[in-house]
Amino acid sequence: MAHIYMHFDFGADEEKAQEARHKLDVWKQAFRLDKKLQYKLDRPEEADADEEDSANADAKDTEKPKSKSKQRKKAARTESDSEGDGTGNVSLLVRLYFSSHEKLSEQRWLDRIPTEEPFKSASPKVLRQGEAGFEEALKQFSDLD
């Protein structure tokens, strides 16, 4: 079974990226594509914000119980997401993983995803195994959380 990666660069448009993420979630649930269609969002400035949030939360964890610290972390993440200045590039990396007997389904999803509305404007790139850039996409997908 071969992986196929699709890279979408949304630039600074966080709203389009979230719309695309939501559409992928709907498809995963509706068509039962749990392991076959996976995605990860890449926000370069997110790592810096998470490190600051975790450092602040660790200092406060010693004073209060864990349940409240989890709530604070979630609140801090949502605040940092909503306060984003929009200067960072948001990219979406989608991995299709169909078995060899599902070639038709794989081809249909390869044709469908880049033509749908939130993905169309994001300059889609399809990377198949053996093509230039595939190893880089594989490494990037495994590095993202």
- 23-32 pLDDT, tens digit per residue, is 999 999 999 9
Res 8: pLDDT: 96
Which residues make beta-bridge pairs with 98?
A: none
Give per-residue pLDDT as tens, 42-54.
987 654 555 555 5
Helices then strands, each counted (H, E), the chain = 6, 4
Q: What is the 3 state secondary structure string of 67-119?
A: HHHHHHHHHHHHHHHHCCCCCCCEEEEEEEECCHHHHHHHHHHHHHHHHCHHH
Question: In sequence order, what are the beta bridge partners of 3?
Answer: 97
Q: What percent of the chain has pLDDT over 70?
A: 70
Rg (CA), the chain: 18
Q: What is the pLDDT of residue 50?
A: 52
Q: What is the pTM of this model?
A: 0.70
> CB atoms < 10 A from the CB of 82, how many?
8
Q: The sheet that has 37-42: what strands, in order across it?
A: 37-42, 90-97, 3-11, 125-128
In this predicted model, what pLDDT tens digit does every residue of 92-138 receive, in sequence order? 999 999 999 999 999 999 999 999 999 999 989 999 999 999 999 99
